[in-house]
Structure 1
Amino acid sequence: MSGLDHVDTDRLREWLSEVREGETTAALMLAVAYDKGIGAGELASWYDRSTESVEEAIAALDSPDYVAEIARLEGVDVEAVAAESNLTVESVEAWFAGLSDRPVPEAASVIRGYAEGAVEPLLTGEPSTVFHLDYDAMTERGWSLDDPDLFEKAAESDLGLPEYGRFLVEPDESILEAAERGGRSWPYACRGGACTNCAVVVVDGDVAMPGQSVLSDAQIRETNARLSCVGVPVTDEVRLVTGVGDLAEFADLRLPSPAEDGDGARPASD
């Protein structure tokens, strides 16, 4: 019977040829040996470690989130990446854990990029689908941001563009840029993360904001607000509510709009 509950040992063996740090190699070897039936106490004597430290190393890798542990062992500064991305540490760890779905050499290459280079914001590298719902359309129907089935209600309603819809965000563009590419007229002003004209509230999924300088930590963490002009999806799908820039918690941070219509919205594309 396997000693590991959550991770395929063959997968860990693949990682052995890709990692660079001795501590990562040692942790992987401990987990592989443990899976072969060698006890933590015996491994502790082999590696001149305490049994507790061996058990901790094995437990960290015997997890669905094991790639996040590999990233840390390889030298990724998760806290710094989170700060640069305006994300929680938990979101960044979940993103690295999600690399387990990719081929090992590809996942290892991503980790090396973050471990060896300067601290960079989290960027998914893959297209993401954004579902959007207008705040006024939501409240007119008596719905709330707290509704657990908010977007299910929207999908089953008679709503369509511009109040409700979806579009694809490519890896090299912000949510606002992708919305505009699809002909949507969303509010904006500075386009550089220094005002809240383009603010949205993320209901599901997560969005990094490299370069934002105006939202408070409480607005980001508690309200789940993001700025679409610098917002970059870091999950396959994102569901967000638009048109929240006039709400009391954001209104004081708005800027005069450069758009012709005077309300902060870009004129619609043909």
Structure 2
Amino acid sequence: MGHLDQVDADRLRAWLSEVRSSEATAALMVAVAYDRGIGTAELASWYDRSEEWVAETIEALDSPGFVSTVARLEGVDLDAVADESNLAPATVRDWFDDLGDEPVPEAADVVRRYAEGSVEPVRSGSPSTVYHLDRAVVDERGWSIDDDDLFAKAAEADLDLPEYGRFLVEPGESILEAAERGGRSWPYACRGGACSNCAVIVVEGDVAMPGQSILSDEQIRAANARLSCVGVPITDEVKVVTGVGDAADFADLRLPSPADEAGASD
């Protein structure tokens, strides 16, 4: 008879009192019973499910990062959350799974609120380190944004602010806000996700972008572009190439910036 290998069955039991859907309840009970030595065939009979369903459910829950499975069973549409935040579905799944390290009542409350559709898009609850490299430097050095070792080369080169550096983004801050707090002067205009002035390319990590209304799906998915004014880091580290707002792919989406207007009035 089997036993769970990767997850503490007591933690699954703690979730039993927190979930609301019959699907999540059945899945958790199956996993807990399996850990006590009940076979998959018998469990299938008990819960009037296929043995395949039982096996797949046990496999999905027998993981330190099982919360995304519970969230899905509770009715959270992970793909819709990803779309709302302009994130990859895998990033949203990992974000939910990271809740497995939190106290069960707190993690369950997050899942419940997403299941009810009453929360904002995904936001990180911890600080993130953002590394930035200016596109002009990439071009001057003959590098490519697609280079796997782009930021390794930047770290070894004789670069300093404003071309290259890093800063900390606190929970609730946008990348642009944190950059400005750190003394950087990045391009911007609307500050509300409606132009491309502050666009960056995410080379590593992921950035949620709630509220943006200007970038196309192709720019977001294929180019991995984000607007730093509404961009919120989701991963512990994020590496971005800045100064892409005036590139050909984004130039038509720019607005006059405050710096431009100030220069015109001098």
**Structure 1 segments (4+ residues) deviating >6 Å:** none
Count residues with an aligned counterpart: 263
1:114-263 pair list within 5 angstroms: 114-118=114-118, 120-259=120-259
Deviates more, 1:201-210 or 1:114-123: 114-123
Instruction: Give the letter aligned to residue 98 of structure 1.
Output: D
Residues 20-169 of structure 1 aligned to structure 2 (within 5 Å):
20-118=20-118, 120-169=120-169
Shift of 1:165: 1.0
How far apart, in 2, do the equivalents of 1:162 and 1:114 lie? Answer: 39
SS in 2 for 1:109: helix
Which sits farther off after the overlay, 111-120 or 155-164?
A: 111-120
The answer (yes or no) to whether the contact 1:205–1:237 under 8 Å persists in 2 is yes
Report if aligned partners of 2:113, 2:119 keep a CA contact under 8 Å in 1. no
Q: Which moved more, 1:210-219 or 1:167-176?
A: 167-176
Q: Compute the TM-score of the two structures, normalised by the length of structure 2.
A: 0.91
Give me the whole-angstrom Cα distance separating, in 1, the residues matched to 2:117 and 2:71.
13
Gaps of 5+ in 1: 264-270
- What SS class does the counterpart of residue 249 from structure 2 fall into? helix
Take 1:157 and 1:106, find their aligned partners in 2: how far apart are those partners?
A: 45
The whole-number CA distance in structure 2 between the counterparts of 1:32 and 1:149 is 45
Structure 1 residue 246: Cα displacement: 1.5
Tell which deviates more after alignment, 195-204 or 25-34.
Answer: 25-34
Distance, in Å, in 2 between the alignment partners of 1:143 and 1:8 is 47
Q: 1:29 to 1:134 in 2, by over 3 A?
A: same
Q: CA RMSD in A?
A: 1.9
List alignment gaps of at least 5 residues for structure 2. Answer: none
Alpha-carbon separation, structure 2, partners of 1:89 and 1:13? 27
1:140–1:179 Cα change, 3 Å: same
Structure 1 position 3, deviation (Å): 3.0
Is the alpha carbon distance of 1:46 and 1:195 closer, same or farther for their aligned partners in structure 2, counting shifts above 3 Å?
A: same
